Amino acid sequence: MECSSEDSSDNTQKPDSNNNNNNQRVYFVPHRWWKDAQDAMPVDLDKKKGIVYASSPGSSYGPMKIINNIFSSDLVFNLQREEESRNILENGEVGVSGRDFALVSGDMWLQALKWHSDSKNATKDDKGFSATDTDMGDVYPLQLRLSVQRETNSFEVRISKKDNTVELYKRACKLFSVDSEMLRILDYSGHITLLFSDGENHVPTDFQRQSDQENLLELQVYGLSDSMRCREGKKDSGSASMKMNGTADCTRASSLTFCLGPGEAGSLGLTGLQNLGNTCFMNSSLQCLTHTPKLVDYFLEDYSREINSDNPLGMNGEIASAFGDLLRKLWAPGASPVAPRMFKSKLARFAPQFSGFNQHDSQELLAFLLDGLHEDLNRVKCKPYVEAKDGDGRPDEEVADEYWNYHLARNDSVIVDVCQGQYKSTLVCPVCRKVSVTFDPFMYLSLPLPSTTMRTMTLTVVSNTCDGMSQLSPYTISVPKHGKFEDLTRALSTACSLGPDEALLVAEVYNNRIIRFLEDPADSLSLIRDADKLVAYRFPKDNVDTPLVVFINQRMEEQYIYGKLAPNWKAFGIPVVASLCNIVNGSDLRNLYLKWFHPLQDLIEETLESCVVSERTEEVAEIEGVADSGSDTIVNGLDTPSDGEMEFYITDDKGTVKNSKILMNEPLTVNGGLNPLHVLVCWSEKQIKKYDTQLSSSLPEVCKSSFLAKRPQEPVSLYKCLETFLQEEPLGPEDMWYCPGCKNHRQASKKLDLWRLPEILVIHLKRFQYSRFMKNKLETLVDFPVDNLDLSSYITHGNQKSYHYTLYAISNHFGSMGGGHYTAFVHHGGDQWYDFDDSRVYPISKEKIKSSAAYVLFYRRVSEVLTERRE
């Protein structure tokens, strides 16, 4: 919080004022740290005396305050001037104990920091001494609310979760706890003391007045973090370098030496990471990477010579340096939990999407970090221009090596050496059948869960022949989510046992009318929504080329329109689709239609005789004053059929009544062509009571999301996920491929094959689903191998010694899509696994590492493991 001081005529001490933004801050530091520097400062700077404030429970810890704290989650205590609180102090001398702290201005903090810093850590600029990034990484803000209690010459201090992150609030509770031991604060800056001055003009601007009694102050806490204490503890011995699986008692690198006692090497690397506020996603990925054998050995040695600070695609080497420094802290002997503030600040600088304290995806962070480390450590200083060529019938081995050499010519780093593999990509144009083969590098494999690649669809199959009764049968099938319509018809044909002499005609029904026929086998299934209703009409293949007739059912309903009761024709039931075979006149058409419905009693003949054959054809007039009341209501000029009648009219595909009524005894003229004949059938109430029209009154939706959400998900093998990833599938409509053969964008089919596998294989399980309307997390349990992942049967080209891998780390996500928590399981030493839950690290049994929370799996090649064990 920036602040500035105002002129005052009294003698109250005020903070120094200059143009330096850092000087306008109030720093909260250990008093011993400040006192040591102050004693060594020049005499003119040593004149400032601190005003002592001691903590006292007082009324702030009365019964009412305790109740309020339970519900408000606020830490509340009193600060009282030393003169008024000497009677409750056991030691009246201002000391430098661990519970004594100092408030200093930014200028004073820099002066003390300069004294404590040596020549290696200090940097000079035109303005003089400035803090290093490491120093600023040990500073964190803390918001306090101060209320002046003038009658007791004290403050009430309130620290709330509303003003601070959860992690910072927890630190504040430990830092300012007054239950067991009193703390004292010495104000050298004069900011707190100003609050006792009379008049509002004396309130400094770094205080944001929330009310007449309460002021908000931001402190910059320095020198009280775990990373600070860890660094100070290693000041004499420097940073560390050792082999991850080494057994030497003392190993040396260019920057430092670690000498390990008996059994001490077994605890190396078992160091947690503090949660800075929703940074568990970052901690999880970092723990997995900092326990990757090749990377540990690399960053514990002198990696600085390979930093490429001139790479325009890199981060000036800062990401690599921050990661290397963090890894060394985690692998230091006897290290306490590390606060990765410096790494977090670098991450936020180069990847703003990870700034702040919101929850993020550990895999997205991992992808950015691997790419950032690669570019910062890329040994290629000047990348040559290379143009990849298509295979064009050449041997795959030749094309693959060519692509790989092109890749290495521009990319050469420890990440490429350890983590990058190569897969073969084959695209086939659905029109000209052009085949394109390329070989692309990969850093990790993102495997879909089988349930995410398949889609469950429900359709109603109608059996409708020229001489048989019709039946409705719903079928639920599974089709590829990005499949084509031919996949649907193939699966549905199998489900309904379609005969070799039969065919299916699929239509979409909306408001009891057919709005389209799905006939193009190349159409994408993404065009079918979950809320759509589909009907598949079953026909003999001999009748495929026969003209079709579509019957739209209507019944008379009365409803109030503009305050008057008016008749309206309304569509109901499923449209009837039949072949116009041997249909001569209107009577034949009526008989064909009535075969669709099952009579409630044996009155078919009586029904046929009761149908009045009308000899007249009349113009259809619109009912005056009656408007269309909705998309599912048809208003027309038909007379209401008398009891027992069923009338047939020629209409269009939308059910709008035309000018002609079909006469039973007159020939029926059917125009040739592909368009079906649409007939409107008007039912009387007497006919509706005679026939079972409820059978066709409703259709199931393609997919009921609520039903699918409740289905239990069965465990799936990791091999099944890999097979799903490698199977051929059509590209989505948004990923159209430009075919060089037909010179157009096509929805080609794509097939991936593994060609070259890396030493470290990272497998990402795609648990999170995103769409325009919903977000979802799949809790499917993936059964993954721990000791022997055998990929020999999935590799296309046998060019390696071993295709066996062993698991050494897992990034887990527990909870739902909207929240949750990330942890890491890491194999460390012998056959022991450890659970890294932010700052907490504890053993976990091997049997418990498999769970539905497994999100990212880290494997290393078995041959490497065996070699290290022999060493």
Residues labelled as active-site residues = 280, 821
Structural contact between residues 699 and 571, judged by C-beta atoms closer than 8 angstroms: no
Strand partners, 789: 805
Residue 575: phi and psi, rounded to 5, are -60, 145
Q: Cα(586)–Cα(668) distance, rounded to whole angstroms?
A: 6
| 3-state secondary structure (DSSP) of residue 56 | strand
Closest CA to 533 of 513, 556, 511, 508: 508
The pair phi, psi for residue 217, each rounded to 5°, is -125, 135
Selection from 220, 222, 243 nearest residue 231 by Cα: 222
Q: Residue 418 and residue 403: Cα distance in Å, rounded?
A: 18
Q: Which residues contact 830 (CB under 8 A, 6 or more apart)?
A: none
Extract the tokens encoding 201: 């003009």
The shares of helix, strand and coil residues in the chain, as percent rounded to the nearest 5, are 30, 30, 45
Which residue stretches of 351-411 are H helix?
Answer: 362-376, 396-410
Among 111, 165, 158, 161, smallest CA distance to 141 is for 165
Q: Give the separation between CA 227 and CA 229, rounded to whole angstroms.
A: 6
Contacts of 620 (CB under 8 A, 6+ apart): 636, 637, 638, 657, 658, 659
Longest dimension (CA), the chain: 123
Buried/exposed 748-766: b ≥16 CB within 10 Å, e otherwise: bbbebbbbbbbbbbbbbbb
CA distance 799 to 705: 46
**Packing angle of the helix pair 280-289, 341-350 (nearest 10 deg):** 100
Asked whether the beta carbons of 637 and 568 are under 8 A apart, the reply is: no
822 in helix, strand or coil?
Answer: strand
Question: 545 in helix, strand or coil?
Answer: coil
Please give the backbone phi and psi of residue 627, each rounded to the nearest 5 degrees, phi first: -110, 165
- What gap in Å lies between CA 654 and CA 680, rounded to an integer? 10
What would the two tokens of residue 176 be? 């300012």
